[in-house]
Amino acid sequence: MKRYTQLQDIQADLREGKLSCQDLVRHYLQRIEDSRHLNIYIEVFEQEALAKAAELDRQLQQGEKTPGRLFGAVVSIKDVLCYKDHKVTAASKILEGFESLFSATAIERLLAEDAIIIGRVNCDQFGMGSDNGNSHYGQTFNAADPERVPGGSSGGSAASVQAETCLASLGTDTGGSVRQPAAFCGLVGMKPTYGRISRYGLLAYASSFDQIGTLTNGVEDAALLLEIMAGPDGFDATASQRAVDPYSELAPLDRPLKIAYFDSAFGHPQLEPSVKQLSMDFMDRLKKDGHELEAVPFELLDYIIPAYYVLTTAEASSNLSRYDGIRFGYRHPEANNLMEAYQKSRTEGFSAEVKRRIMLGTFVLSSGYYDAYYTKAQKVRRLIYERTQSILNEFDCILMPAAPGVAWKVGEKSNDPVEMYLADVFTVQANMAGIPAICIPIGKGREDLPVGIQIMGKAFGEKDILQLARQYYNPSQSA
């Protein structure tokens, strides 16, 4: 079967009878089997996907109804999204055997448009990690080089698209968990404005940061998926009531843009030379096409990561308190009383990284330290938000590297949590400010590994950054 990188090509062949949904699903199932060494899937919905494909083929042949907008789209989902009557574990032992009673709003909207969900994919436990190594199910590997990581926490989502086991994948982005894996795997990673997509049915890590995003081969599919999932939701009070723009109607840019970039980012000591060079080359392309690029000061870059980890760990300590070994999920078999049930279940159920973040969060929220850490971090977040908004009031968007370097080797950063945290230095700003951001591939860096660049836009300005991204990237350039 030929390689499909865009839904429009799949749908064209389906309508012309050159392809069936069943053929497509069987092809992806074979790709899943061929890529088992990458440890991408936690569970494959083989029979269910084939049955759904057969039903869609029948409906198309008999003309029973107009096919949905995602007819022919085979999608994987990160193991933090609830799908009714399917297991969801956040890649953690603490939720071993748990089956969801309902589907996330985002998934309901995909299914309503005839998407086929082929399986749930690996991730860092509860979205806590940058390399997909913090999983109860083991490390996921990068398809471009199986000795390297796919990024995190949505590394399984990225690898599933990269390895051609599905057309697109749903991930989540708390501090870069969609965009950094996209950069490492040569994909398009889209994180919308906070509240643009309902978080109902998403297992929370840090509620004021989490946002569902997409990993795709091209910008057009990212735009369509966003358009379908976005919008108000009565089940999520943080979902915006704002009308959804027609993101899928991506017209060419009709004017040159004014684009900001930070010297403090492009001159950052952690930025690898190959990533910097490719980023500068991309900026030169923008300048040659008439866009105005200007360096602006951003003095807060070094404060982003410390403030982010204070705030997210604080929220995690609260959100993860429900996983207590009593109400659902894993319970230690040797617990003899309530206290032992709590202690033994959580000690064995959570990974070292999850326990580290829960303890850090509990500490910064504790009496005597709340003002010194949590309150101060909130003030820093406010400063970052205000400075970002002031820049976007003057510029159309902000350009930033998606990651300081290319995908590192498996285990390379495992013993240094701080170094792992610093891998998110360029992506966290968008989550702190609640603005949309997209990562697109810009070439191959050191050791012929994918490199991505990030475009951040104004709140609810997804269409603007999607149009810019589309103009400078197409799937034929994908890794």
Active-site annotation holds for 84: no
Cα separation of 337 and 345, whole Å? 12
Active-site annotation holds for 169: no
Which amino acid makes up residue 7?
Answer: L
Which residue in 35, 52, 78, 274 is the catalytic one? 78
Cα separation of 479 and 476, whole Å? 9
Task: Kindly provide the b/e burial profile for residues 281-310, where b requires at least 16 CB atoms within 10 angstroms of the residue's own CB.
Answer: ebbeebeeeebeeeeeebebbeebbebbbb
Which residue in 35, 153, 169, 274 is the catalytic one? 153
Six token digits for residue 427: 């992506």
Active-site annotation holds for 177: yes
Which residue in 154, 177, 279, 478 is the catalytic one? 177
Contact (Cβ atoms closer than 8 angstroms) between residue 225 and residue 168: yes
Contact (Cβ atoms closer than 8 angstroms) between residue 359 and residue 125: no
**Pairing mode of beta strands 116-121, 74-78:** parallel
434: left (phi over 0), alpha (psi -120 to 50) or beta: left
- Give ∠ CA 323-326-329 in degrees, rounded to 5: 55
Cα separation of 277 and 283, whole Å? 10
- Report the largest interatomic distance among the alpha carbons of the chain, rounded to a whole angstrom: 71
Cα separation of 212 and 78, whole Å? 10
Cα separation of 165 and 158, whole Å? 10
Question: Which residues have a catalytic role annotated?
Answer: 78, 153, 177
